[in-house]
Amino acid sequence: MNDDTPAAPREEADPADTRDDVPYRFDRSHAVGDIVEAFEGLEAGVETETVVSVAGRLMLRRDQGRLAFGTLQDATGRIQLFATAAASPGFERFTGLSIGDWIGVRGAVMATRRGELSVRVDDWTLLARARRPFPDKWHGLTDPDTRYRQRYVDLWVSDEARDAFARRSQIVAALRRRLTDQGFVEVETPVLHPIPGGAAARPFVTRHEALDADLYLRVAPELYLKRLVVGGMERVYEIGRVFRNEGISTRHNPEFTMLELYWAYADHTDIMDLTEHLVAGVAEDVCGSTTVVYDGQNVDLAPPWRRASMEEVIAEHAGFEVSLDAGAAELAARCDSLGIETRPGWGPGKLMLEIYEKAAEPNLWGPVFVTDYPAEVSPLSRRHRSRPGHAERFEAIVAGRELCNAFSELVDPVEQRSRFEAQAALRAAGDDEAMAVDEDYLRSLEYGLPPTGGLGIGVDRLVMLLTDTQAIRDAVLFPTLRPDPGV
């Protein structure tokens, strides 16, 4: 349909539009996309004998005397509606419909004289009124805040939004399919934790009245998943929501989706191989290629990915070399030269991490595995087998941001207790992101955790990468926002 103009928004509801006038159901025979595919190329002026029943929102409408045209949209596509005063019942009511009204239509598939594939309106039913003005197709929702608060409107008026979230579903499905094919078992672990743990993050606190106890929304499922490995489940994973009581930015949302997996008898090098093949495979499944475009630049996700130590990438991008042997005073001075605020009590490992995150990570286009993290900032990682002071931990960096965190898991309950107690001391000193001592997890380790590799992938960030989305709010259907002053 050409030269469409939006119908005026309804100012008052039709008195006849009562609850009883709206049907309880509507029988559709076809999705719009199926009709478009089946009758593509129908010659202009041809009326078929195929009668269909379709339903969706009226997105555009224009009237030409005794003819009326509309665009019906469902989840699969759009198609023109063609109504005439002579043959379409309720023609005047049809021309009074507003943008956004839900209708069901029955009629023959045809092509107009201009060649527009259409459904002739032989009969129609109002399914729901849009009682608020609906944005028109051409302008959509131009205010970003409104788009996020009223996603139910944004999805209808923005093809890009619908496509991005359809792609998100495909990405998650591809992750599940590939992990299942490799023998991983999907599980579910608690969201309410008696002790916050599994990541260095400030938790959300809630109250369980029946137990008379504070509980915490999980910051990570890690400790429960590793309990399952202790229990003999050798390859497990979970895709679920995690919650961190932290700031909001273009890459951070307090509620986000994490894929975590644990693989018995594997170490961090096995997890690197798994990660690069998993991400590249999902890109191939969803995008058709292992090379994707992000923010105007190509990202080649094909294995193998570069592997470089934290010291190497700092030297490349900060312009100076650092090591844990330099000591806290020298590293604190380096932080000061970069404008990094530090706290008393930070050791060389924490200071090196701050330098890396400031001077190196944002400049890594990648993909690259940044390896050999300081053990000081890796309380759940196994110590490096050949580099004292370091852990067998890596993060995958793509387009200047962390995509995943992984390591050879710490399996020694004695050392794990020592690490927990060091974290607890930091917590007592005011670090509300530090972990607490989890006695039950320590008890599980005493039953024996075999050598294990673990991986956590930020699903939202993977979606951002594979849909060329620069803000996490555009990868999450309902991002966390400040309270709406208009509600």
Same domain, 110 and 198: no
Cβ neighbour number for residue 385 with a 10 Å cutoff: 9
Q: Does residue 143 lie in a domain region?
A: no
Specify the pTM. 0.90
**Residues near 77 by Cβ (< 8 Å), separated by ≥ 6?**
31, 32, 33, 36
With tokens 């109250």, the residue in question is 207
Question: Which pLDDT score, from 0 to 100, does residue 137 have?
Answer: 57
The reply to whether 332 falls in a domain is no
Residues 35 and 98 grouped into a single domain? yes
Q: Phi/psi of residue 460, each to 5°?
A: -60, -40
> Same domain for 262 and 115?
no
Residue 136: the pLDDT is: 63
Neighbours of 381 (CB within 10 A): 24
Q: Note whether residue 200 is domain-resident.
A: yes
Residue 308 DSSP SS3 = strand
Instruction: Let me know whether 70 and 163 are in one domain.
Output: no
Domain boundary among 82, 107, 128: 128
Residue 135, pLDDT score: 74
Are 221 and 91 within one domain? no
Whether residues 109 and 250 fall in one domain: no
Residue 279 tokens read as 């991400």
Q: Which of 280, 307, 273 is nearest to 466 (CA)?
A: 280
Q: What is the mean pLDDT of the chain?
A: 92
In this structure, are 122 and 180 located in the same domain?
Answer: no
Total domain count for the chain? Answer: 2
Q: Classify residue 417 by burial, with Cβ atoms within 10 Å: 0-12, 13-18, 19+.
A: middle
Indicate whether 378 and 270 sit together in one domain. yes
Residues 119 and 168 in one domain: no
Tell me what pLDDT residue 11 has.
47
Give the per-residue pLDDT at 426.
Answer: 87
* Neighbour-count burial of 27, counting CB atoms closer than 10 A to its CB (0-12 exposed, 13-18 middle, 19+ buried): exposed
294, 301 Cβ separation under 8 angstroms: no
Query: Is 100 in the same domain as 237?
Result: no
Separation CA 137–CA 247 (nearest Å): 34
Per-residue pLDDT, 20: 53
Closest-CA residue to 217 (of 249, 252, 251, 255): 255
State residue 465 phi and psi, 5-degree precision: -65, -45
Q: Which of 200-204, 215-219, 313-317, 445-449 has the lowest mean pLDDT?
A: 200-204
141 lies in some domain: no
Edge to edge, the sheet with strand 213-217 lists: 192-193, 213-217, 205-208
Q: Is residue 148 part of a domain?
A: no
Structural domain boundaries, residue 87: 10-128
Query: Domain holding 418: CATH number?
Result: 3.30.930.10
Whether 187 and 299 share a structural domain? yes
The answer to the question of residue 15 being in a domain is: yes
Among candidate residues 128, 143, 169, the one where a domain is terminated: 128
Confidence tier at 139 by pLDDT (50, 70, 90): low
For the stretch 416-457, pLDDT in tens is 999 999 988 988 888 888 888 999 999 999 999 999 999 999
User: CATH number, domain at 107?
Assistant: 2.40.50.140
Is 96 buried (19+), middle (13-18) or exposed (0-12) by CB count in 10 A?
Answer: middle
Do 86 and 233 have their domain in common? no
In the structure, what pLDDT confidence band is assigned to residue 156 with cuts at 50, 70 and 90?
A: confident
Question: Pick from 87, 105, 128: which residue ends a domain?
Answer: 128
Structural domain contains residue 479: no
Is 30 domain-assigned?
yes
